[in-house]
Amino acid sequence: MHLVPVNVESIRIGQPLPFPLMDKNGVLLAKKAFVVATRQDLDEISQRGGGLYIDVADSEAHHRAYVERLHGLVRDEKTLGQIAGTQISNDPSAAERAAAADDRMDWLDLQEVANSLLRETQPAMFRERMVRLLRQLQRNMQRNADGTLFALIYLSATDTRMYSATHAMLVSVMCNLAAKEVLNWPEADQILVAQAALTMNIGMTDLQDRLAIQLEPPSATQRAAIDTHAERSAQMLQAMGVGDHDWLATVRDHHRQAPGRLADRTRPQRLARLIQRADMFAARLAPRAARVPLAPAAAMQACYFDETKAIDEAGAALIKAVGIYQPGSYVRLATNEIAVVIKRGANTTTPRVAVLVNRSGIPTVEPTIRDSSIKEHRIVASVAHRDVKVQINLERLLPLTAVPASDRPW
């Protein structure tokens, strides 16, 4: 349990609590759905516990309660000073604590955060929450890019929960890595492509999640919504306070199919092309109730060639950045062992892997690390996630992807 402090002003009097309240030691002060009858009662609870705290896992519920509290103050015609004084936390180091709490979030937490962000309806909070999520993704990439890819590719290929959120994070991370490590784009472009990728489908979040579990093909109404979602996403972003022309133009163009050199395009068109290629890869990778996903290597190969069957510059950059066999994907070795990729290698075809199924088809007790650049351990085929019956523990395997401190470039 990771506790973060909250301000008493963000708690609504006379309304059921959307989260449990605890003291600084994690002792329960008030359970979820408890109704605090008066402000005096709330003050007494806070004093008894030396302040009010919630588990970071409940932070999204707290955020919603805080926004509702602000709306209540507006409806009650409180002064601007009273409204401005209502803070989400009364700790002067709240920002630092929030960053530390973010660092302790696991990937299921981040799925929840992204899922909530893509459904945000309050312009005042959207930009702040989006920036916070992007910073967390970038911190993860800086510390362990392989672990970040491992988690998102594995979740995309095995989990249909919150499909739209996981898809958006994966595309954002892939584009950010390609822009930084291969295309050498300016930092401003790296940030912008990550932002645009994360928000490209905000106009069809609910529909994306429904389609992931829908057995029948999209209806005519759904198809129309799919065809118009790029423009709708840009309009929603503008309504949420996004005024960056290039951001909005990138989102509008992210499904545009136009082969050609990146250098011949405008800035938004370059960013949109990279997103379009990464979007194609991630969509082919993800499971759908009505469609069998491709193995990651096959999905990546599909984005390597453009609409004229020529090598696509953006697709090639993505492959170089994340590899043909990406962390989180399964492969078969020359030894007939089945392994999961844990780290990118010196080139796109020779990653480091962890054996999960031995040559006799029996799951290993502990993963055995192999370097696929060694001939006897070379990769002979990509394996689809659906064909591997071993259940892996994401948190147990993620440490295998960690970069030794001596190998880090910072």
CA 217 to chain centre: 26
pLDDT, tens digit only, all 410 positions of the chain: 456 677 666 677 777 887 788 887 778 888 877 888 888 888 888 887 678 877 755 555 555 554 455 445 445 554 444 434 444 444 444 444 444 545 556 888 888 889 888 988 778 778 888 888 999 999 999 999 999 999 999 888 888 888 999 999 999 999 999 999 999 999 999 999 999 999 999 999 999 989 888 889 899 999 999 999 999 999 999 999 999 999 999 999 999 888 889 999 999 999 999 999 999 988 887 777 667 777 777 778 788 888 888 999 999 999 999 998 999 999 999 999 999 999 999 888 999 999 999 999 999 988 999 999 999 999 999 888 888 888 888 888 999 998 553 343 33
**Which residue in 212, 240, 207, 209 sits closest to 225, CA to CA?**
207
Give the pLDDT confidence score for residue 9 in this predicted structure: 64
Helix (H) / strand (E) element for 134: namely helix 123-158
Give the pLDDT confidence score for residue 70 in this predicted structure: 44
The rounded radius of gyration (Å) of the Cα atoms in the chain is: 23
Give the pLDDT confidence score for residue 84 in this predicted structure: 43
Burial of 220-248, coded b for 16+ CB within 10 Å and e otherwise, reads eebeebbeebbebbbbbbeebebeeebbb
Q: Is 212:167 a contact under the CB 8 Å cutoff?
A: no
Q: pTM score, two decimals?
A: 0.75
DSSP state of 19: S
Burial of 346-377, coded b for 16+ CB within 10 Å and e otherwise, reads eebebbbbbbbbeeeeeeeeebeebebeeeeb
What is the location of CATH 1.10.3210.10 in the chain?
98-322
Give the pLDDT confidence score for residue 242 in this predicted structure: 93
Q: Which residues pair with 383 in a beta bridge?
A: 330
Tell me the longest C-alpha to C-alpha distance in the chain. Answer: 74
Cα separation values, 124 from 67, 137, 202, 375, Å: 9, 22, 17, 56
Contacts 24+ apart (CB under 8 A), 26-33: 26/1, 26/53
Here the tokens at position 142 are 């800086």
- Give the C-alpha separation, 355 to 364, whole Å: 7
Cα separation values, 228 from 102, 201, 216, 253, 277, Å: 34, 10, 20, 11, 19
The C-alpha angle 117, 123, 128, rounded to 5 degrees, equals 60
- Give the C-alpha separation, 172 to 179, whole Å: 11
- The CATH number of the domain covering residues in 98-322: 1.10.3210.10
Q: Virtual CA dihedral for 152, 155, 156, 160, nearest 10 degrees?
A: -150
- Give the C-alpha separation, 149 to 141, whole Å: 8
Give the pLDDT confidence score for residue 148 in this predicted structure: 95
Interhelix angle 267-285/163-177, rounded to 10 degrees, is 130
Helix (H) / strand (E) element for 123: namely helix 123-158
Give the pLDDT confidence score for residue 67 in this predicted structure: 47
Residue 178 three-state SS: helix
β-pair type (21-22, 363-371): unpaired
